[in-house]
Amino acid sequence: MRLLRGVRRLPEPAVSRLRDPLLLALTAAAGWTDALSYAALGRVFTANMTGNLVLLGLAIGQVAGTAVERSAVALAGFAAGALLGALLTRGRLAGPWPPRVTVALAVEAAMLLAFAGLWLAGAAEGTAAGLDALIALSALGMGVQSAAIRRLDVPGVATTFVTGTITSLMAGLAALQAASGWRRHAAVVVALVAGAAAGAAVWARWPRLAGVGPALLLAAVTAAAALATPRQNGG
């Protein structure tokens, strides 16, 4: 952040307006990641742990050792990432997008860049160890993201899963109140589906490039957030 000391930060209302597009980009990255992990990494989810736990239960019930291992790696990676994200953003945070959240997302971006490097090297088509490494890196990044975005305390929004967001969306529609945030909730749901569709489409046409998408999205979000809030107090 020192490199950005001379950059004038955006006023807080402008940062608030920027927050939603950044959240949507992060949600799209999570959808893209889950599409790749399910399609190319042994039918496992690395962002949506509810779905992954169901897959783990199915694998245990069917005594499918390899599937159990991959789901367990994803769960352990996500948990470790969530712990790291919580540590990076602990303490008192102020403002619509505290700098410590940006720092955590930069760490996630580094993990996804490592994931992209392994993917480009062909790890998704290689050994079981290569697949496990991709699963672990992907889940680590998504765990960091989940913990960091939780600290923004945006009602009804979590960028790596949307069950609660859909519930909030329906509650907002029932209330018929603009202040309920239903438009934001609807946009998050659409972003997750769009990210998954984009990831699946790129994987089907250019499989070697598909692993780069989440890293590019995280790098863009991190850069935009850093430029918008380089000197915000209280973060």
Contact 209, 32 (CB under 8 A): no
Q: Helices (DSSP H) in 62-162: which residue ranges?
A: 65-88, 99-120, 128-150
Task: Say what the pTM is.
Answer: 0.89
pLDDT at site 218: 97
What pLDDT shows up at residue 47? Answer: 95
Contact between residue 194 and residue 13 where contact means Cβ atoms under 8 Å apart:
no
The domain segmentation of the chain, as residue ranges, is: 78-228
Token pair, residue 52, equals: 């992954």
The answer to whether 186 and 171 have CB atoms below 8 angstroms apart is no
Q: Which residue in the block uniquely carries the two structure tokens 């305390």?
A: 153
- Residue 179: predicted pLDDT: 58
208 secondary structure, DSSP code: T
At residue 229, the pLDDT reads 75
Q: Which residue has 């050994």 as its token pair?
A: 127
pLDDT tens-place values along the chain, 235 residues long: 443 444 445 555 556 778 999 999 999 999 999 999 999 998 999 999 999 999 999 989 987 888 899 999 999 999 999 999 999 999 888 888 999 999 999 999 999 999 999 999 999 887 899 999 999 999 999 999 999 999 998 988 999 988 888 888 888 888 766 555 888 899 999 999 999 999 999 999 999 999 999 999 999 999 999 988 755 444 4
- Residue 62: predicted pLDDT: 87
3-state secondary structure of 13: helix
Query: Distance (Å, rounded) from C-alpha 175 to C-alpha 93?
Result: 31
